[in-house]
Structure 1
Amino acid sequence: MALLEVEDLKTRFQTDDGVVNAVDGVSFTLDRGKTLGIVGESGSGKSVTCLTILGLNDPRNTTSEGVARFDGVDLLRTDPESLRQLRGMRISMIFQDPMTSLNPVKKIGWQLEEAVLVHRDVSHKEARQLALAAMESVRIPRAAQRIDDYPHQFSGGMRQRVMIAMALINEPDIVIADEPTTALDVTTQAQILDLMNVLQDERHMAIIMITHDLGVVAEVADDVIVMYGGQVVEHAPVDEIFYRPRHPYTWGLLGSLPRMDIEVEALAQIPGQPPSLLNPPAGCRFHPRCAFAMDICRTEVPQLVPYGDASHLQRCWLDDATKERESVRTVAALQQEAS
């Protein structure tokens, strides 16, 4: 049995303007020691999917359906206290912006110790020792001296390491990383990704990596979900996504990667804007931006079905010949850039 099984997850927000269908029928599984990448533009439902699993959406205006079964426990139906005990202990989250996630008026050590004391019956002295060990495990230099510093005294990369330390301090089974390398320079980004890979190997934990950066996905993920308009449009092993992509949106994401082999005035881009989830378009949600849209795309909703073997799922009305041709063209462009 998979460590985490998500089936037909749906999340709706009630707003003054109407109902926002933020997540619409997302399903996936995650095994221990594996990394699942979730990619897509802002507003595609990546973060809301994981916040729903953790029960972190505002219950006053949120309705959730489906199943999110963690180690046999349905997280959507468990009581709030049991869910609170799981969060931070067996499932942790690295939030997107460490400067706003960390308390600016509390010392780093205090914040790490709090994460321990909430979930474990240990003394303050033991909690401090665990906090120091966590800082050392994420390679923060002079951890013994810096444990009493405030967040503003750390660089962006060091603050992100603190967030990773906080997520890992209770040795969780799953870590959800929401854009963990956003706003970091490429050198620091590489260090953070390498650190997460090392810690995953050491602790055999599962990771959900939420990102818009396909370069990050290629480096860390075992399987990839591509989301658009609150739905999964493609789900496959990472090699399949990069070498046999089967959805026009995935082609657009891959085609918009920066090219180093030729001089261009502007990056390639997907025309238009992501759909409003208050009033999503009929049929395929990507059809207003798709160069291959047909009449059926404007009226009928495509289902997420296997392409080839059962491990590669895609949601598109295009015929197989067109998918194969465009996939080859997209991959050839990527290989030309790499060479």
Structure 2
Amino acid sequence: DPGRELPEAARWSIGTTTAINGKPYSVAYTGQASLISAQGELPKLPPLGQPFDMVELRSSDGEVVSIDYGHQPPGVERGKAVLLDDLQLQGLKDESAKIESGRQFNCPHCGAPVHVQLATTKSLTCGSCASIISLESGVGGELRSAEQDEPVRPIIPLGSKGQLQGVHWQVVGFQHRMGVEPGDDEHFGWSEYLLYNQKRGFAFLVDSEEGWSMVHPTTGAPQMAANGRSATYLGTQYDLKYSYEAETTYVLGEFYWQVTRGQKTSNRDFASAKGLLSMEQSANEVTWSAGDKLASDTVVKAFKLEDKKDVLQRDDPGPFVAAKGVGCGTIILIAVVILILLIILSDCSGSSGSGYRSSGGSFGGYSSGGSHK
């Protein structure tokens, strides 16, 4: 608001809400950034390589407010996501393929040559030893790597090209993740393929126990109910299906955020008849993804993987129906079932058994970095 002094960066808390001119915004990211390089005529910039605090606020209709504490007073910018086509830029390639003239350096772990194909890459893996390499300081800076054991092989190979939802995509990254519900010791796993298109940016193709789905990071911040049982995004209410802790266990390829093995988030998956919605929260960021389920045949045809049709087969997507109130007929049926069970159990003694629960996988892809603009 005019005349209102901005709080210090440390006072912003992830997930809290503030208002600007009466409009609510959620605190989506707090962290540090640093200027690596600059070119052309630009306004005043922070010192090269010197870290400074950044805060991002997001509204439910997709507005983003960035607060740059590298200046005094802090710089404030407000914007909204647009498609590249809306800018009507000329001379751009129509292909989804990665940039051919990539950067190159030697892997700090095994010494093998590593090629960086995307300008937005912040982490990637070595093609020879699969070590995760951080590009946080740029290719010319100090490279940090982390060795990975127990490789997980993606069913859809990196570099594969396919058309989904009318857009040509290329698989540039892969990560395997594990989840566990609070108070439970049963883990479940799923895989996420990072897709790239030059004009549409990034999307996630998710392979979980519940089938295939395709989701995109949202620019806006959906509004979650106070009890956490539902969330509203662009006028649609999504009901909570799963709440769990997630951990990244293996990665391959290039990523536009600082990916690390062992990266942990708190996740909530929501669903409605219109689609899927997923929230992931780390120590310094809240990210949302929205999308839809896909039939297995759609994935097979998109990437021309007819020879892997059986391996890619999952349960066909069906409509999501939120739990409603229990009717009288249901109560009577439950009572009859309980009565029968009591009769059976009365004839048994000392018996033991085991139960099986199938937890659902993630609907959304992790999209850290605080920049989906």
TM-score normalized with structure 2 length: 0.22
Structure (1/2) with the larger helix percentage:
1
Q: TM-score when scaled to structure 1?
A: 0.24
The higher-RCO structure (CA 8 Å, 6+ apart) is 1
Which of the pair has more CA radius of gyration?
2
Where is the strand percentage greater, Structure 1 or Structure 2?
A: 2
